[in-house]
Amino acid sequence: MKNSKQPAVPLPEKPAFICLHKVGFAHCDPAGIVFYPRYFEMVNATVEEWFEARLGFGFARIHGAMEAAVPTASINVDFMQPSRLGEVLHFHLYVTRLGRSSLDVHIRAGGGDAAADAPLTAATTRFQMNATLVFTKKGVTGSAPWPDDLRAALEREITKQDQHDT
């Protein structure tokens, strides 16, 4: 297992969102492990589900009525251990920075027998990544400021992930 080359990002107390993805036949390569571009499909689905279920902004609405998009601007990822056919992976998403028109998230995926919300350790983490997402508007070059209501929803997520469960 390799050591991460990623710049250390201090993580909040707990993830803002946890999403499960089962490794299917379509995700696996001739070595019987997940082909890494398929991980990014799972990552994208995690972000989509988070936007819809927690923020109240589904991608159908963002790409439809809002005429906007949330493209990925950069990714820094370490693949630490392979994942195999039939495994259920736990995706933990943390918001690490909210900018005027961008958003940094840390996403790590783990497997094994632990509960989905158990902290992921070096022994169970399959990959961890930092990504920057940006808000864009159709017909506007470059990024655009987060709309107020979407920004407010993102801020609630940040507050929530720093709260201790007491």
- Residues at the site binding its own copies, with contacts judged by CB under 8 A: 1-2, 4-6, 24-26, 28-33, 35-38, 40-41, 44-45, 48, 52, 58-61, 63-64, 69, 71-79, 82, 84-86, 132, 134, 142
Least CB distance to its own copies at residue 57 (A):
11
- Measured from the CB atom, is 54 or 79 closer to its own copies? 79
Q: Which residues contact 149 (CB under 8 A, 6 or more apart)?
A: none
Least CB distance to its own copies at residue 19 (A):
12
Q: Which residues contact 89 (CB under 8 A, 6 or more apart)?
A: 20, 21, 22, 23, 42, 83, 109, 110, 111, 126
Least CB distance to its own copies at residue 150 (A):
17
- Measured from the CB atom, is 60 or 116 closer to its own copies? 60
Least CB distance to its own copies at residue 76 (A):
5
- E-state strands within the chain: 17-22, 68-69, 72-79, 88-98, 102-110, 125-134, 136-137
CA pair distance 147, 126, nearest whole angstrom:
34
